[in-house]
A and B are shown apart, each in its own frame.
Chain A
Amino acid sequence: MAVAIIDYGSGNLRSAAKAFERAARDAGRDIKIEVTSDPEKVLSATHIVLPGVGAYGDCIQNLRQCDGMVEALQQAVIRERRPFLGICVGMQLMATAGHEFGDHEGLGWIEGDVVALQPDDHRLKVPHMGWNDLSFTKNRDHPVLDGINDGAHAYFVHSFHFRTAAPAELLSHTQYGGTVAAIIGRDNIIGTQFHPEKSQATGLRLITNFLNWSPAT
C-alpha cells in the first residue's frame, strides 16, 4: 500500500504525514506514506490525500499549476475509483465552485459550492476555530466513520464552508450559527472540513479507517 499526500504548496504537510504514519504504525501496517507533487506517484498510490489550507482561489490555482496533477487525480480517483480523502480546503476543492476572493471553478466531484460562513449569531467569531462536535444523521455504516459516534469532537479552522447540493452526500455536520458540513462523500471519495490530523483520537480513528477502506470499484 502507498498513500500519496499531495503537495501543491499549500499548508502544513508534515502534520498530515505524521498522523498517517502514526495511524499506519498503530494498525501494524506497512504502508508507505509519501508527500509528493509528482503526478506519477499519485497514479501509483493506493490511497490519495489532498490537504489544503489558505484561500480557495490560490489553492485551486496552485493545484492546476502542478503539471499533470489534476489529470492524475481524475484518472486515479474518478476513473479508477481509488480511495480519496480531502482535508479542509482539500475537501472544498471537490465542489463545483468556490466563492472566496472571486469565483473559482472547483474539481466538480461533489455538487455544491463553497461560500463564506455567516453565523446567524453575530457574537460567533469567524474563522470557526476550535473543537466542535459531529452529528451524524445518515450513512452511519460508512466504513471511514466506523467507531466515530455522534458528539465526537473534531478540530475545525475555516471561514468558508461547503454547501452540498445533494443531501445524501452530506455525511456529517456540525453547528456554528447554522449547519456546517463536516464530512462529505460519495463512492470512493470522502472529505472532512475539520483536520483529522489535529483531532487527536477521533482524527486518528478516521485516518485508520481510511487506510483500511476498500470502496467498491
Chain B
Amino acid sequence: MLKVRIIPCLDVDNGRVVKGVNFVDLVDAGDPVEQARLYDQAGADELCFLDITASSDNRGTILDVVAQTADECFMPLTVGGGVRTLDDIRNLLLAGADKASVMTTAVKNPEFVRQAAQKFGSQCIVVAIDAKSVSGEGTEHEKFEVFTHGGRKETGIDAVQWAQRMAEYGAGEILLTSMDRDGTKSGFNLPLTRAVSDAVSIPVIASGGVGTLDHLVKGVTDGHASAVLAASIFHFGTYTVGEAKAYMQNAGVPVRLDPSTHIADNATRQEGQ
C-alpha cells in the first residue's frame, strides 16, 4: 500500500536555513546540508528546499546546497523559489534535485508548465499554489483564490480551476499551501485542501498551518491530501518526524515507519547512529 508522505520543508536564504531546527545533536543550526542529513536519518519521506529570497544572485548558492545535500541524502528532493526558465530547472536537476517547484512563473506564463513537463517529465514538475478562502466560507459555495508574493498579491484565479489546469498541462504534483493558515498553527484549510485534492487526479501535498500532529492526520482524512508538508513543528523540535508518523499510524493513516527496519546490513544501520 502506498504510504502518506511526511515532508519537512527547509526555508533557505542565501544558503542558510532561516528557521533553525531544534535537533539536539545539531552542530550548526543554519546548515541546510546537516539538517537534511538529520531529516534523512529521522525517516522523512522527502525533503523540500524553499529558496525564500530566490534572487538571481544567490541562485548559485542554492545549487551548491542542493549538490551537497544530494551527496548525503538518498530521498527525493524538491527545490522551489525563483524558478523562471527551463535552464533554471535543468541546473537544479544537474545539481541533484529530483523535482522543481514552480509558482509565480506558472501564474505569469502557464505554458511554462507544459514546456517543463514535456522537457523533464511530469514527475519532476511540482506546481506550488498559495491559496486562501475568499468568499462563502463554511458553505458549499466557498471560493478559493490563488495568491502570489507570500499571500499579498491576489490573482483573481480560482484555486480549484487553476489546479485542474496545471494538472492538465502536465504538472506531476500540486503543493497546496493554505495561505490563510500559514504560520497560524491552526491546521490546514481543509475545505480548500479537499476541494483541490478531489478535483485533480495527481497527488496533492497539503501545506500551511500545521500546529499539531492531528492537523497532519486531518489533512489526509478530511483534506484528502496524498502528502503533508510541515516546517515549524519539525524545525522547532515540537515533534519529530518519527512522532508524527507514529501518531498518524495510530490514527489509521498508512505511513512508512523506520526505513532501516528491513535492512539486514549492519553497516547501513550503524551509519545512521
The residues of A with any CB-CB pair to B shorter than 8 Å are 11-12, 14-15, 18-19, 22, 26, 53-55, 123-133, 147-149, 151-153, 155-159, 175-176, 195, 197-205, 208
Contacts and interface: CB of A to CB of B under 8 A. Distances in A.
Given A125-B201, A130-B227, A203-B74, A26 B267 contact: yes
B271 A153 contact: no
A131 B268 contact: no
B262 A18 contact: no
B203 A127 contact: yes
Contacts of B123: 53, 127, 129, 157-158
A205 B201 CA distance: 33
A25 B71 CA distance: 12
A205 B70 contact: no
A152 B4 CA distance: 15
Contacts of A133: 1, 3
B268 to A, nearest CB: 5
A125 B121 contact: no
B259 A201 contact: yes
Given A53-B121, A131-B2, A152-B262, 6 more contacts: A11-B93, A26-B268, A155-B75, A175-B1, A201-B269, A201-B272
Identify which of B74, B124, B173, B268 gathers the most chain A CB atoms within 10 Å of its CB.
Answer: B74
For the residues of B in contact with A, the DSSP-based class is loop
A203 to B, nearest CB: 6
23 contacts: A12-B94, A12-B96, A15-B98, A18-B70, A125-B201, A125-B203, A126-B201, A129-B172, A129-B173, A130-B2, A130-B4, A130-B5, A130-B203, A130-B227, A149-B262, A152-B263, A157-B172, A175-B1, A198-B75, A200-B40, A200-B75, A201-B272, A205-B263
Nearest to A207: B74
Contacts of A124: 2
A148 B260 CA distance: 10
Contacts of B264: 147, 149
A130 B46 CA distance: 9
Contacts of A151: 262
B70 A202 contact: no
Interface in B37-69: 40, 45, 67
Given A55-B121, A132-B1, A159-B122, A18 B71 contact: yes
